[in-house]
Chains A and B, each alone.
Chain A
């Protein structure tokens, strides 16, 4: 049997140390100078999470220091991009703090490019600044390591521990070391989940090796959701999966290309196509959400999903592929260099692909495609836990004592874990970690974590559960001669393949052009139930496969929530992300709400509810729009 290692008397446990978790660990030390702060990370904190390979831009920076934007401007931007469905209290809170995180990154050594004329940060777009961010993650990891008492690398956290003295209160977490196979118990007063969103739950476009070239990191296993759902935390907006328009196959980023290099898209005949689809689309979503003229005069964006919709329909109309017109920009050697640097800094695989296929964007316009869907909460999508906001902003329905605390007491979230906060990206996730850390310290100082009790029975039960896939393999392996086909078990890869296929076909994946409906969702949920039963018989040949088995279980829990939420919201809120074929319109009368779910940890039953949407309203309108109007003399 594996060795058991208990880490007791932790004040704050950070589960998952990407940008959210590192922000939490760093900040927790300031508000809890005498507190015991421990990090449990699945990989190596120096290169873990979605930013492991680096970034070429910080996509969330207000620039209030340079007089550029106010927090509410960003809230309005995120609101319209997500078709209204955001938590504006959380967004405003993130936006008013995010600049201080970025300024600290620069002090720590992160190279941020400057505009030589104005001295301000070099803007890629209204919210994006350009960085040489190959070492973004190692730099913020240094900060987290300096603050933490202990960093446990290579620990796959599988479950949260629950308090047995008070219901619905967290008490720590358990997991295993993916190298030694040891069982780890972390008893903690508060837990901040910084774990990631989910790649690889929908069947990818690629086959074989290329399945690794997912847009979001393959190690983003939806553990943020898996952990919190298992603990009974309420989730929100889990239907709001994201589909990305990216360079074909390599999924290289397009932000710098659109915004900085001023490249644009066209169909196979060299025609602009987006605007052709907007009149019909406007009938689907309403003028409040799609108004190309208003978007033209103001800086109001056309929502990401709606631009996807145009791309999808143009391709389905037989005028694909869609090309990114790079041939103009790349004639400028400086811009050409930026184009390549952009990949090397954050998606090396795209540079590898262009080198392999002899694509020189100077002489040909590369292809774009729409990706398979992803479930996460920090890009142009807001899946995650239903969390309390800050007391000075949040209305009663959004506030229960501690900023970024989920509906489970003492359980906090940051980054992908927090729902309703899209467009946080790296800097915003780090900021959310900081906010959660301050609140978690206060939670402990207020005595809310006193008297926690965890029985040996709970720990032993989890231990047995965690290592069961290895036991199962041991028992049934010799039933067959060799190979991977067994009547008594499936291996994690086989389970993942099955999950991806059912998500794709029943929940609106790429092979069905992102289409689903109530009937399909019911069939999908039924199939998911049997997969969950079979996952009781998932077999792991070794510790590495045990890691994959638990990642699969987390992905499956996240997928179930996606199914339930997609079923609940009877409208097509985000055309271009997914379509409810039986309700093909935006329905503000019934669905101008946030969807909130809870899975009962004892029975596995889901309950769904609607939560009201509050918007920021005020006399001060969008700063850029106001300036534009002033310039035009209006």
Chain B
């Protein structure tokens, strides 16, 4: 089954239940711990693995084509803005550590609150521009592309 939960590590906090895009991480009512209720609807997306504070969730490749004995583990650190992976193959010949950034900025701090920015003028409303445009399209003084500016027209028929 794609994701599974180690009995001794899970404390039933429910973070995986909260994040799973497929709604398949549920709490077992007898053991009060999480498990994957529907493995054939699991994408191995690792959202729950990354969210688990106890590293209690792991993935075992799909049984219909993946042999046992492999491991792809991950630690995602929002504070440091990095994600660390370790891949181990079944025969042990591949054992790789890979590190990647997940953000370049402190979390959520550089997203504008559009309620508070100066609102659009009537001219902007009647134009084809979106928020921050035309500036953000080219990051210079250039304007938005139109059929006129690019010497184009829409013509019915077969043209290539």
Out of A43, A71, A357, A612, name the residue touching B21 (CB < 8 Å): A43
Give the Cβ gap from A306 to chain B, nearest Cβ, in Å.
15
**A209-B64 in contact (CB<8A):** yes
**B62-A33 in contact (CB<8A):** no
Give the Cβ gap from A302 to chain B, nearest Cβ, in Å.
14
**A97-B133 in contact (CB<8A):** yes
**Separation of A256 and B101 alpha carbons in the complex (Å):** 18
- Which chain A positions have C-beta within 8 A of B91? 358
Out of B43, B94, B150, B156, name the residue touching A213 (CB < 8 Å): B43
Report the nearest B residue to A144, measured CB to CB: B111
Q: Counting CB contacts under 8 A, is B5 at the interface? A: no
Out of A100, A107, A218, A438, name the residue touching B137 (CB < 8 Å): A100
Map CB proximity to A onto B1-40 as digits: 1 under 8 Å, 0 otherwise. 1100000000000000011111100100000000001111
**A341-B98 in contact (CB<8A):** yes
* B-binding segment of A3-11, A46-54, A473-481: A46-54
**Separation of A616 and B98 alpha carbons in the complex (Å):** 45
**B139-A103 in contact (CB<8A):** yes
* B-binding segment of A131-139, A482-490, A508-516: A131-139
**B83-A134 in contact (CB<8A):** yes
Majority SS at the chain B contact face: loop
Give the Cβ gap from A118 to chain B, nearest Cβ, in Å.
15
**A65-B43 in contact (CB<8A):** no
**Separation of A617 and B153 alpha carbons in the complex (Å):** 5
- Which chain A positions have C-beta within 8 A of B94? 355, 358, 360
Q: Which of A104, A212, A348 has the most CB of B within 10 A?
A: A212
Q: Counting CB contacts under 8 A, is B123 at the interface? A: no
Report the nearest A residue to B100, measured CB to CB: A132
Report the nearest A residue to B102, measured CB to CB: A135
Map CB proximity to B onto A53-87 as digits: 1 under 8 Å, 0 otherwise. 10000000000110000111000000110001000
B window 38-96: CB within 8 A of A = 38-47, 59, 61-72, 74, 76, 81, 83, 85, 87-91, 93-94, 96
Out of B39, B125, B146, name the residue touching A212 (CB < 8 Å): B39
Give the Cβ gap from A152 to chain B, nearest Cβ, in Å.
14
**B103-A219 in contact (CB<8A):** no
**B64-A617 in contact (CB<8A):** no
**B153-A357 in contact (CB<8A):** no
**A349-B150 in contact (CB<8A):** no
Give the Cβ gap from A299 to chain B, nearest Cβ, in Å.
15
B window 119-147: CB within 8 A of A = 119-120, 125, 128, 130-133, 136-140, 142, 144-147
Out of A71, A106, A214, name the residue touching B145 (CB < 8 Å): A71
Q: Counting CB contacts under 8 A, is A453 at the interface? A: no
Contact A349:B43 (CB < 8 A) given known A111-B101, A249-B65, A547-B23: yes
**A52-B47 in contact (CB<8A):** yes
Q: Counting CB contacts under 8 A, is A629 at the interface? A: no
**A438-B114 in contact (CB<8A):** no
**A340-B87 in contact (CB<8A):** yes
Chain B residues in the interface with A (C-beta under 8 A)? 1-2, 18-23, 26, 37-47, 59, 61-72, 74, 76, 81, 83, 85, 87-91, 93-94, 96, 98, 100-108, 110-115, 117, 119-120, 125, 128, 130-133, 136-140, 142, 144-147, 150-160
Known: A43-B21, A43-B22, A392-B147. 14 other contacts (CB 8 A): A33-B114, A42-B23, A53-B43, A65-B138, A96-B144, A99-B136, A100-B137, A212-B62, A213-B44, A351-B72, A355-B72, A355-B89, A395-B156, A614-B156
7 pairs, CB–CB < 8 Å, chain A vs chain B? A52-B43, A209-B62, A348-B45, A355-B71, A592-B158, A613-B158, A614-B154
